Structure 1
Amino acid sequence: MSVKLEGNILVTGANRGIGLELVKQLAEKTAGEAHIYACCREPEGTSAETQSLIRGSRTSQELEKKKSTLNKVNIQDKGKIFNGQDVADEDSVSAAVQAVSKKIAAGGLNLLINNAAVNKPASPAPLSATSKKDMMEVYETNVAGPFVLAKMLLPLLQRAAERDSPAKDNGNKMSCRRSAIINVSTMFSSIEKCPENFPIAQMYPYRTSKAALNMLTRCQAEDFKIHNILVAGIHPGWVRTEMGGADAPLPSQDSALSVLSVISSLSNKDSGRLLDWGGNMIPW
């Protein structure tokens, strides 16, 4: 199964879990020419799998054969794409944006996937265990981080959007192959569904930050539509990762492939929406 995405793609939080799997699936399954920029905060402490992608393993050699390139900066080069890109640190984000801009040049950025997120304190994170510090740190990463990154990358997104919309998009002015921001959200962000799932995990900082991210998605969708930049949120499911836990029913590989399949099909009508990994709308 190929993923109908191409061009310059940037993924945050790519050191583990869903972010790492998104990068792997993009590297292996993109149908056209794709240049993937994988960003994470602490590359020196990442998994062997991530290190392999950074340094250029069999996976990246396979990419050369299909003209789909995993753009990487070796850790020893002290570059800013993999090395120390922290979405909660504005200077770090600025450095990463500058590094990516130099590599992208005139092509523009076709797709930004804001995946990086934190959950504090550890689940189930009841009110009694949650501090003001937890609230502020989670908000800074989960909301302010995507806000700053999208703001700084907007000129590159506009540059990509200004190029002619591909004929295969059937007249749609917006698509993730042209210019788009995907904010990774969660079912737990839904105010309407909170009574159904609150007993599972209270997670005050995580829930409220992702609800704020949903509003950011809506605001950006309204603000950027004049530029034909699609903005949408997606819930990847309850995924078996370090954050999701061992009891989660969905493997990261299945989640990532489903997410990429959904965003491959997004068009004008989907901008400003929150969808799940099956393409179903989630109420605010």
Structure 2
Amino acid sequence: MSEKLEGNILVTGTNRGIGLELVKQLAESTGEEAHIYACCRAPEGTRAEALRDLTTQYPGKITLIKLDMSDEDSISAAVQAVSEQIGAGGLNLLINNAAINKPDIPAPLSATGKRDMMDVYETNVVGPFLIAKMLLPLLQRAAEINSPAKGDKMSCRRSAIINISTLVSSIEKCPETFDIAQMYPYRTSKTALNMLTRCQAEDFKRHNILVTAIHPGWVRTEMGGEQAPLTTHDSVHGMLYVMPFLSNKDCGILLDWQGNRIPW
């Protein structure tokens, strides 16, 4: 990577898949002063073993934080824990990666109920809304500390929120993707996340905080399935190549993992 992310970086949903790979590649690629806050529901659980191994492999670089994105009290406690450790440093980058998909793919209309819709919305939309709201003072602090002498005011190395979205959130492209998997709860929640991205972009630009949504590609994970063409390594490598180059012009839009714009 010719450009690197730096500073304090918080990633949600890090015990497996894309989130775990984000922590791994961030730990590998960032400098000595960078610190990664890796959040997941059960840092001490069996499903977080690979994440704990990374903390051993990169001592002092990663802090594990307990975080359930469907629980407001858990989000508040996680933000408090991060705030106490960061102190006056500010938060440079929030990557909202945690998400759920219910019911199982292809999630047709016949198998989908109200509870599925509400559970997915709560985690995929309300969670990112709350954590960004609570972390806003830390993001503002980072933006103030790292004010550039010239050029674009917004960047992921200064202060930014990256909401991990998806191609299937695109209303315009729905006719092209719907037959693959209906996924009513997941699709509609990610479309709502896109609107959250637009709202935050408009609201936070006065603080010089960049807000962008990124589609990681169809990735071979527990959620993406074995038929997915992309590995987590290639997806994350692409996203981490794109992120350092994001600037004012990219605020409030949806990009793919290679930096190409996706229509709403």
**TM-score between both structures, scaled by the size of structure 1:** 0.90
Could you tell me how far apart the structure 2 residues matched to 1:195 and 1:39 are? 35
Q: Is the 8 A contact 1:2 1:31 kept in 2?
A: no
Structure 1 segment 162-181 matched on structure 2, within 5 A:
162-166=144-148, 171-181=151-161
**Residue from 105, 111, 117 that aligns with 1:135:** 117
Tell me how far 1:113 sits from its aligned partner. Answer: 0.2
Quick check: 2:27–2:62 contact (8 Å CA) kept in 1? no
CA distance in 1, matches of 2:142, 2:88: 8
Give the fraction of aligned pairs with identical amino acids, expressed as a percent: 73
Alignment of structure 1 residues 251-270 onto 2, 5 Å: 251-270=231-250
In the TM superposition, what whole-angstrom CA distance separates every residue of 1:143-182 from its partner, at most 9, and x where no partner exists? 0000000000000000001124345xx6110000000000
Does 2:105 align with 1:123? yes
Q: How does 1:37-116 map to 2 (within 5 A)?
A: 37-43=37-43, 44-53=45-54, 56-57=55-56, 59-61=57-59, 69-73=60-64, 81=65, 83=66, 85-116=67-98
SS at structure 2 position matched to 1:205:
helix
Determine helix, strand or coil for the equivalent of 1:159. Answer: helix
1:203 aligns with 2:183: yes
**Count of equivalent residues:** 263
**Which letter does structure 2 place at the counterpart of 1:240?**
R
For structure 2, the residue ranges without an aligned partner over 5 or more in a row are: none
Counterparts of 1:28 and 1:143 in 2: how far apart (Å)? 30
Give the counterpart of 1:232 among 204, 207, 212. Answer: 212
Equivalent of 1:188, from 149, 159, 168?
A: 168
Contact conserved, 1:14 with 1:20, CA < 8 A, in 2?
yes
Aligned counterparts of 1:23 and 1:51: Cα–Cα separation in 2: 11
Sort the Cα spacing of 1:38 and 1:3 in 2 relative to 1 into closer, same or farther, 3 A: farther
Off by >6 Å, runs of 4+ in structure 1: none
Contact 2:91–2:139 under 8 Å retained in 1 = yes
- Consecutive unaligned residues of structure 1, counting only runs of 5 or more, are 62-68, 74-80
Between the aligned partners of 2:226 and 2:103, the Cα distance in structure 1 is: 18
Q: TM-score, normalised by structure 2?
A: 0.96
Q: Match of 1:77?
A: none
Partner of residue 150, structure 1: 132
Q: Is the 8 A contact 1:123 1:203 kept in 2?
A: yes
Offset at residue 49 of structure 1 (A): 1.4
